[in-house]
């Protein structure tokens, strides 16, 4: 359990570091799958630091997945939402409304209920078609990125985040299925394609939308699906009589994520006056940002609702959102 919680801290910090690196780069094509964007952000040291944190978190996650049910690991990883929100509020100067803070807590609470409903870890190999289904799902993540990148600005961060979460979910299940090195096993290719696609989509989501919203979608996407697969085909079970608790947790997590999507809308214009002073342009050296372009002053927070910026920084206005 310690490895699972430590992994969530690494992933939460990585989301903010990657957002700082992604937003310091020139905006991409506006699509969800933007390979050129990946090449540009790899020149940002903050993004590279985020990748290192992701790598450490992934190693800790593998250890956790080999010793705990997927339900428990997923609920522990959900804590990365709280880590992301706290760090983003200080480093990126993101000002979260009470509704957003409540939504973060709701998502975490829903996923925690899923964890409470889980039983012992299963040791089944699953049906023979499951590895091929994972590989197809990995390519489906790429397609979702193309479609999601064409959506309006408001739901784009959530959809791209969900797509990234599905890709990471493919990785989670693949880790459970891998049994030695076999290049003929489709699980290995599902792991590589799903993980790579997830990183591309998450990078696009972090550059073009609310950090917390994108991360909420990613955590939800990588938690619920693998948990269901673990119960249905890998032998993970719910505790006796607590099946209803798992369903409740799922509904609460979805509701919280949708709330974050509603209040994660990007600003309509660049350089709007705010309560704390004028915003800075992308690339300007903001306090504590080192010129990352993500350290601009937050937008108005007089009340949650469509059209309000909840502290995502003016740099997003340059990509047309």
Q: Is this model's pTM higher than 0.75 or not?
A: no
Most confident of 22-36, 156-170, 224-238: 156-170
Q: Tokens for 94?
A: 């993101």
Most confident of 4-8, 34-38, 97-101, 150-154: 4-8
Of all helices (H) and strands (E), which one includes residue 315?
none
Task: Please determine, for residue 316, whether its predicted confidence score (pLDDT) is greater than 60.
Answer: no
Q: Write out pLDDT tens, residues 157-175.
A: 888 989 999 999 999 999 9
Question: Is residue 253 within 8 Å of 110, Cβ to Cβ?
Answer: yes
Q: Write out pLDDT tens, residues 186-204.
A: 999 999 999 999 988 987 8
- Least confident range of 162-171, 221-230, 241-250, 300-309: 300-309
Which among 163, 138, 139 has a CA at the least distance from the CA of 221?
163
Question: Is residue 188 within 8 Å of 135, Cβ to Cβ?
Answer: no
- Cα atoms found within 13 Å of the Cα of residue 313, Cβ hemisphere only: 39
User: pLDDT at position 264, please?
Assistant: 39
User: pLDDT at position 260, please?
Assistant: 67
Q: Write out pLDDT tens, residues 3-13.
A: 888 998 898 88
Q: Tokens for 139?
A: 């390519």
């Amino acid at each position: 359990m310690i490895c699972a919680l430590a992994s969530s801290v690494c992933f939460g910090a990585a989301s903010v570091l990657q957002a700082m690196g992604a937003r310091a780069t020139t905006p991409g094509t506006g699509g969800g799958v933007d390979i050129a964007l990946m090449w540009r952000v790899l020149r940002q040291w903050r993004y590279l630091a985020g990748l290192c944190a992701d790598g450490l978190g992934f190693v800790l996650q593998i250890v956790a997945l080999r010793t705990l049910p997927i339900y428990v690991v997923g609920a522990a990883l959900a804590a990365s939402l709280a880590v992301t929100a706290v760090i983003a509020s200080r480093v990126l100067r993101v000002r979260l409304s009470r509704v957003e803070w409540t939504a973060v807590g709701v998502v975490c609470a829903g996923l925690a209920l899923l964890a409470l409903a889980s039983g012992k870890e299963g040791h089944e190999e699953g049906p023979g078609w499951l590895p091929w289904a994972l590989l197809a799902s990995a390519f489906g993540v790429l397609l979702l990125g193309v479609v999601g990148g064409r959506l309006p600005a408001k739901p784009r961060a959530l959809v791209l985040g969900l797509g990234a979460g599905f890709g990471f979910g493919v990785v989670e299940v693949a880790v459970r299925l891998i049994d030695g090195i076999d290049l003929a096993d489709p699980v290995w290719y599902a792991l590589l394609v799903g993980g790579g696609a997830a990183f591309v989509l998450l990078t696009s989501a972090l550059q073009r939308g609310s950090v917390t919203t994108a991360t909420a979608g990613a955590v939800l996407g990588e938690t619920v699906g693998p948990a269901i697969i673990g119960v249905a085909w890998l032998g993970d079970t719910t505790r006796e009589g607590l099946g209803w608790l798992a369903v409740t947790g799922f509904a609460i997590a979805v509701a919280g994520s949708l709330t974050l999507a509603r209040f994660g809308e990007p600003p309509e214009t660049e350089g709007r006056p705010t309560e704390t002073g004028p915003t800075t342009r992308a690339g300007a050296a903001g306090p504590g940002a080192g010129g990352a372009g993500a350290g601009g002053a937050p937008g108005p927070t007089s009340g949650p609702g469509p059209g309000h910026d909840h502290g995502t920084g003016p740099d997003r206005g340059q990509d047309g959102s």
